[in-house]
Structure 1
Amino acid sequence: MSKVDIFSLIRSNYNAFTKSEKKVADYILEHMQDVIYMSITDLADACNVGEASVFRFCKTMNLKGYQEFKIALAHSTQDEETQQMSGEITQQDTIGELASKILATNINALTETSNLINETDISKAIDCFIQADRVHFFGVGSSLMTAMEAKNKFMRITNKTECSIDSHLQIMSASLMTDRDVAVAISYSGSTKDTIDVAKAAKERGAKVISITRFAKSPLTNYADITLLCGSNEGPLQGGSLSAKISQLYLLDILYAEFFRRNYKESTLNKEETAKAVIEKML
Structure 2
Amino acid sequence: MTNIDIFAHIHSRYNSFTNTEKKAADYILEHPKEVLYMSITDLADACNVGESSVSRFCKTLDLKGYQEFKIALAHSISQGEETPQISGQITMQDTVFELASKILSTNISALTETFNLIHEQDLSRAVDHFTRAHRIHFFGVGASFMTAMEAKNKFLRITNKTECQMDTHLQIMSAALLTEKDVAVLISYSGSTKDTIDVAKAAKEQGATIIAITRFAKSPLTSFADITLLCGANEGPLQGGSLSAKISQLYLLDLLYTEYFKRTYKESIRNKESTAQAVIEKML
| TM-score, with length taken from structure 1 | 0.71
Matched, 1:267 2:268: yes
Aligned to 1:49: none
Q: Is the 8 A contact 2:184 2:208 kept in 1?
A: yes
Shift of residue 20, structure 1, vs aligned partner: 5.8
Match of residue 19, structure 1, among 47, 65, 87: 47
For the residue of structure 1 that corresponds to 2:97, the secondary structure is: helix
1:144 and 1:107 map into 2 onto residues whose CA distance is 23
Aligned to 2:117: 116
Q: Is the 8 A contact 1:15 1:218 kept in 2?
A: no
Where do 1:1-283 residues align within 5 Å?
14=42, 17-19=45-47, 88-283=89-284
Shift of residue 106, structure 1, vs aligned partner: 0.3
1:11 and 1:244 map into 2 onto residues whose CA distance is 15
1:264 and 1:18 map into 2 onto residues whose CA distance is 46
The alpha-carbon distance between structure 1 residues 218 and 277, as it changes in their structure 2 partners (threshold 3 A), is same
Which stretches of structure 1, 4 residues or more, deviate above 3 A after TM superposition?
Answer: 10-18
Shift of residue 134, structure 1, vs aligned partner: 0.1
For the residue of structure 2 that corresponds to 1:223, the secondary structure is: coil
- CA offset digits 1:98-137 (Å, max 9, x no partner): 1010000000000000010010000000010011000000
- Size of the aligned set, in residue pairs, is 210
Structure 1: give runs of 5+ residues left out of the alignment. 1-6, 22-86
The alpha-carbon distance between structure 1 residues 273 and 173, as it changes in their structure 2 partners (threshold 3 A), is same
1:102 and 1:203 map into 2 onto residues whose CA distance is 38
Shift of residue 18, structure 1, vs aligned partner: 3.9
For the residue of structure 2 that corresponds to 1:228, the secondary structure is: strand
Identity across aligned pairs (percent)? 74
1:281 and 1:90 map into 2 onto residues whose CA distance is 44
1:196 and 1:20 map into 2 onto residues whose CA distance is 23
1:130 and 1:20 map into 2 onto residues whose CA distance is 41
Structure 2: give runs of 5+ residues left out of the alignment. 1-33, 50-87
Q: Is the 8 A contact 2:140 2:187 kept in 1?
A: yes
Report the residue type matching 1:194 in the other structure: D
Report the residue type matching 1:263 in the other structure: T
RMSD over aligned Cα, in angstroms? 1.9
Report the residue type matching 1:17 in the other structure: D
1:135 and 1:200 map into 2 onto residues whose CA distance is 17
2:91 and 2:221 map into 1 onto residues whose CA distance is 35
2:280 and 2:45 map into 1 onto residues whose CA distance is 52
1:14 and 1:178 map into 2 onto residues whose CA distance is 31
Q: Is the 8 A contact 1:185 1:211 kept in 2?
A: yes
